[in-house]
Chain A
Amino acid sequence: MLEVEGLKKTYKTTKAVDGVQLYLNKGESVGLLGPNGAGKSTTISMMSTLITPTSGDVRYNKKSVLKHPDIIRPVLGVVPQEIALYEELTAYENMRFFGKIYGLSGRKLENKVDEVLELVGLSDRKKERIKRYSGGMKRRINIAVALMHEPEVLIMDEPTVGIDPQSRSYILDMVRKLNREKGMTVLYTSHYMEEVERLCDRVYIMDHGHIIASGTKDELKSILSGEETVFVEVQQMSLKLVEQLVAHEAIQKVTEVEKGYKVIATKGEDLLADIFKLASTIDVKITGIHVQTPTLEDVFLHLTGRKLRD
């Protein structure tokens, strides 16, 4: 349905996007995961015909949208990372304005405004100006505006940045509903791995302008099939314990987390026993320990050596 081929964008000497390849099938929910500055927003801007790529192409149903932007614009809904709304206008006025820009009018426009406001749960606050909204409410209207023309493809650029958990959960449920119940094709960009894990069928992992891995969630996690993640909770943090753990032949990486350490190690039978033994030799009391199945965050860490939010 939508294909991106060798997309590149260079600003003077900086390569913001370097040969990105990706595709979206109809009705799919695809995640584009990567840290800040990975090139996700630039990729989205090129896909939505907002900026011209240095090279490469974007095709919608086999036709180049770079040459013919008008073929994608009517079927594309874009939710920008920023709150792209008129703060002085009410939610209702913003939605009516963009609805009219999309060519809606009369009763159809009014019905659509009501329907979308219902969907984002803001019907009772529609007469308030956007500037008086909370961050979460602004995010929801930001999404609502992109849904006014019932797009086939919805591209969302970090739609939950800086909002409370309740609003985030509401938005994620809404996106899942749009994808599952309305068959909307979704490209969901985020640096929150748990969001992408929750929403998406397939995932592209992006870093420094490149796609560094792609596949279904299970395919990506299988990269880490030979490894396991162990969380070690300690009474008191100890640099010496870290040194001991890093020196262990099965342990690949030790990172500090709240109240303890996250240990990535090659799967082995005696690892937990070894960790307890190491701790007791230096008088560090372990208050808890659990083994976690790999996450996309772990995959990213494995591939780049960095956390997603670094």
Chain B
Amino acid sequence: MWNMLKKDFLTISRDRSEVLVLLVMPFVLIAILGFALGGINQENQGIAEIPIALVMSQDFDQELQDFEQRLEDEGFPREMINQVIESAEAIDPAIMLKNLLLAPELEGAIATETGYQSTEAQQALEDDQIAAIITIPEQFSYQTLIAIYLDEEPNASIEVKVQDYEQIRSDVIESVVTNFVDQYNFETSIALATEGEAVETALNNEAFGETTYLSTRDPVSAFQYYTIGMAVMFALYVAATVSSNAFKEKETHVFARLMVTGEKPIRYLISKAVAATVLTALQLAILFILSGLLFQTFANQDLSFWLGVSVITLSFAVTVGSVATLLTAIALQFNNDAISAAFSGGIVTIFAFLGGSFTPVEQISPVIRMLGNWTPNGAVMTAYLQTIQGLSFGAVMPMIYRVLVMSIVLISVAVFIFPKRRLA
């Protein structure tokens, strides 16, 4: 396999036109677009303040009384009840969440409006006045407290209703809530444990939501945006390059020569997948590193950022590898390289547009954004941008899963199509 990979790498790297397309062109475009659109994009692309509604349907005082009554019913001594009620006020999750959302640290990132009733908030969401509704339901505080102190099954959940699941800002809101839940669980456990009681975490993630972390970082810069946009677009050309190379091998009878040696066709196909994967990973790494060194695109990023970027890059590289496999299978089976030409000449451009390589498409239409997130480049572009904005790895995972599933489907189809033994 290494032998085949080395051969593919050498043949492609020695072809100047390929190097030009795969490395020089994207880099030049990053530079041009980064400098030209820097100012404009900075304004438009950053996470603008996200307006949300916090609807608090519970009545904390009433629920605290209900909780006190419950403790009495359970036969707790009065002194202990007073102690618990006193600490319960301090750890009420609804109040803590409200304080978090209104905290100065979130100023400029999230604008929380607490005056809405449930129906008004719903209307505001539909009218695009707000991006999300966070609802604290009735009995929330009561349910939380009995879960914590009486170790009952938690039956409390914060409802988060977002305007558009595909938008990055929706992810931000979900992250805020889930981060809060994680933090709350952790701190509550610590607080109770330090009073000498062995306490299990009563509130679990499932009761509240799925995603974590909060982004308070700078907006995505033009250089960051176009480094990602151009890199994921030009990475798709690797697939066409590899499949064209495979077709050239068939045309020049090298493929036939390989088959005469006893080389298995499936091994050959796998070698193309691996070659495209490695080449894509290298191409992306080179573009990111060059952009970082010359334009300070990813300055001051921590290890977790680079880890996230690495995982996304590898996942995307695998997907490009699977696209290359499919193109190779089609070209060789039908003895025609038109598919590679059509891919590099048209499909890449369409995918690049839908995926947002040229411009942030969510500003044009949420439908295009949604479609774009179903292209391999669009999905990973969203993942990269989320990572740049500091979203958690968990928030990015759905897009990674998406491209990995795409890869499995593409490879399966390619293996099905590819000639199994002989050429005719």
Contact = CB atoms under 8 A, between A and B. Distances in A.
B254 interface: yes
A52 B422 CA distance: 7
A45 B3 CA distance: 26
A49 B423 CA distance: 9
Contacts of A52: 422, 424
Nearest to A97: B7
Contacts of A73: 260-262
Interface in B1-50: 3, 6-7, 10-11, 14-15
B424 A51 contact: yes
B278 to A, nearest CB: 17
A101 B422 contact: no
A145 B257 CA distance: 10
A6 interface: no
Given A70-B262, A78-B260, A101-B261, A49 B254 contact: no
B193 interface: no
A144 B57 CA distance: 84
Nearest to A100: B3
A85 B254 contact: yes
A89 B10 contact: yes
B260 A76 contact: yes
A282 interface: no
Interface in B248-268: 252-254, 256-263
Contacts of B11: 86, 88-89
Given A82-B252, A84-B252, A51 B423 contact: yes
Contacts of A100: 3
Contacts of A76: 260
Interface residues of A, number: 30
Contact of A88 (B14, B258, B421): B14
Interface string A70-99: 100110101010111111110001000110
B257 A80 contact: yes
A179 to B, nearest CB: 20
Contacts of A69: 262, 421
Contacts of A48: 260
Contacts of A70: 262
A79 to B, nearest CB: 9
Contacts of A74: 262
Contacts of A78: 257, 260
A102 interface: yes
A88 B261 contact: no
A101 to B, nearest CB: 5
A50 interface: yes
Interface string B197-216: 00000000000000000000
Given A49-B260, A73-B262, A89 B7 contact: yes
B423 A50 contact: yes
A50 B261 contact: no
Contacts of A83: 252
Interface string A199-226: 0000000000000000000000000000
Interface string B329-344: 0000000000000000
Nearest to A66: B422
7 contacts: A50-B259, A50-B260, A52-B422, A78-B257, A80-B253, A97-B6, A101-B261
Nearest 3 interchain pairs by C-beta: A73-B262, A84-B253, A100-B3
Interface of A: 45, 48-52, 69-70, 73-74, 76, 78, 80, 82-89, 93, 97-98, 100-102, 129, 145, 149
